[in-house]
A and B are shown apart, each in its own frame.
Chain A
């Protein structure tokens, strides 16, 4: 097996990030060489079929009630067993809270390298090694990293930095059910409670995000931005300047010391585009911005920019969107 992706599961469904990893795998390997490891409390058979249709040739499944929620020790035991049996050259996980815990824990146990939060992957000509590219030093630079001598080569991939693979008619994977050994239940963690999704987390996975910067001037002006977000069906984010002033909660902060977002559409109003902010949003698919300063750095990233006063532009845009009907 050349590439194995680590599936993520919640509420008995395989999450979209898994299909994004499959897109990456399809870019690195040929059909027949791709695997997916699914560790879960159990998922319906169709979920495995869908994974096969989307590109996984071998699907390795571990199911047990005690695998419902991620814990480092049992998940790593399953990963190690999969690696021992299928010997993938490359293992890819999402740069999610699970992936960013599971993969480093496993990398140490397997004595191999791991590259965090990659935004680009390719295969080096000649050596066939995985080239992993990621932003570093607050997005000031991009670094390309490889793991020459240790196996598997492992990376976590920034969520939403690529499109999910779609199921193809007629394509199927082979399902390998494997037993999760009782000994794997040994864990230092005991679950006390779980409360599904809260609103602040939605920002990380929102398709559209409207981000407010200090150009908003005072919290009273947030109303027009909220309206814009509502018209676009977007979540609201903020720069640190706005959060530090207490105009929006910390959970809204986008950037180096806040959240990373990769939405389809990023709308920045009154945002200068400081490097620490860009670190959390530069992999957004489309970027539009409104700023009075034509030299603002955000414009160097923007697909469409309006040099103008947001207090004028945003209400006009809202009126136009209202008139134009739903997007």
Chain B
């Protein structure tokens, strides 16, 4: 089988800093990392590869030149090859435009039997790109997959939804997005890291993909961000301090009363 994993580089939300006046992310203050949830996508692809000997796993990313770092990370973790779609024309893409670009790249570098994505990227936090790619390429789609296996009849997946546990058979070609329940991938080996460092990562441009610049990037995006602001965290809360037996009793009384009020609503 030919497998593809979609990989995104995201700002590290641990160290992310915001520009107070413009409300945008200060890029240099935050190290860019591999979207943590995409490591599970790779893990799922490698599980399928193990079950279907002779398979290959291609990692694909759309992003700035620096996204190469995230691709090297997945190469070190076991992906067979990597492709970076890098073009100014892609800048500012919303999920729709991102999916258009990634779909074109999957077609150019494919055909693939199975595409695996993360559940969502921790920056945009939408989880829309996977389903949008599936719709664009008419792939069978299963999201929030926490178990995957292959047999002669195709792919079998398990997904846990609000109302229960579902098992589905997917006709190939298919796209799945996976959750953390797929399992941990472990750390890259030193040899893997060394090999990944030397690998050539081809760059694909929008023109290579035959994409009209008007349909991608900010221009091609149906949505527009009109405003960015800080969440107002502060609620006018009451605070009680426990310093002795009496204040403990008072605090607990106040808390219990509040909980009772809430429940009465």
Among the listed B96, B128, B164, B170, which residue makes an inter-chain contact with A189, where contact means beta carbons less than 8 Å apart?
Answer: B170
On whether the beta carbons of A137 and B222 are closer than 8 Å, the reply is no
Residues of chain B in range 87-130 having any CB-CB distance to chain A below 8 Å: 94-96, 99, 122-130
Supposing A96-B162, A114-B223, A189-B140 touch, asked if A306 and B131 sit within 8 A by C-beta, the answer is no
Q: Say whether A97 contacts B161, CB under 8 Å.
A: yes
Q: Assess A265 versus B143: contact at CB under 8 Å? Given A144-B226, A316-B248.
A: no
> Are B222's CB and A138's CB within 8 A?
no
Cβ of B223 and Cβ of A145 under 8 Å apart?
A: yes
Contact B36 A192 (CB under 8 A): no
Contact A288 B259 (CB under 8 A): yes
Indicate whether B78 reaches chain A with its CB closer than 8 angstroms.
no
Q: Is the CB of A205 within 8 A of B252?
A: no
How far is B260's CA from A321's CA once the two chains are assembled, in angstroms? 9
B23 at the interface (CB under 8 A from A): yes
Q: How many A-B residue pairs have CB under 8 A?
A: 277
Flag whether B255 is at the interface (Cβ < 8 A).
yes
A107-119 vs B, CB cutoff 8 Å, 1 = contact: the mask equals: 1110111111100
Query: Does the CB pair A313–B251 fall under 8 Å?
Result: yes
Query: Is residue A23 contacting chain B, with contact meaning CB distance below 8 A?
Result: no
Contact A147 B256 (CB under 8 A): no
Measured in the bound complex, the distance between the Cα atoms of B131 and A76 in whole Å is 12
CB-defined contacts of A76 to chain B, threshold 8 Å: 135
Are B13 and A140 within 8 A (Cβ)? yes
Q: List residues of chain B with CB within 8 A of the CB of A211.
A: none
Shortest CB distance B263–A (Å)? 4
In Å, the complex CA distance between A320 and B238 comes to 19
Interface extent on A, as a size class? 35 or more
Asked if B21 lies at the interface with its beta carbon under 8 angstroms from chain A, I say no
A residues near B (Cβ < 8 Å) are 10-11, 69, 72, 76, 96-98, 100-101, 103-109, 111-117, 131, 135-150, 187-198, 200-201, 204-205, 232, 250, 256-257, 264-265, 267, 275-276, 278-279, 282, 285-288, 294, 297, 299-309, 312-313, 316-317, 320-321, 324, 327
A-B contacts besides A113-B222, A287-B237, 14 pairs, CB < 8 Å: A100-B143, A113-B94, A116-B95, A137-B11, A138-B123, A146-B226, A191-B167, A193-B166, A201-B162, A201-B163, A250-B181, A288-B258, A306-B239, A306-B252
15 contacts between A and B (CB under 8 A): A96-B162, A104-B131, A109-B135, A136-B125, A138-B122, A138-B123, A140-B18, A188-B141, A201-B161, A257-B36, A299-B237, A302-B239, A303-B235, A304-B237, A312-B242
Closest 4 CB pairs of A and B: A188-B140, A308-B242, A113-B222, A108-B135
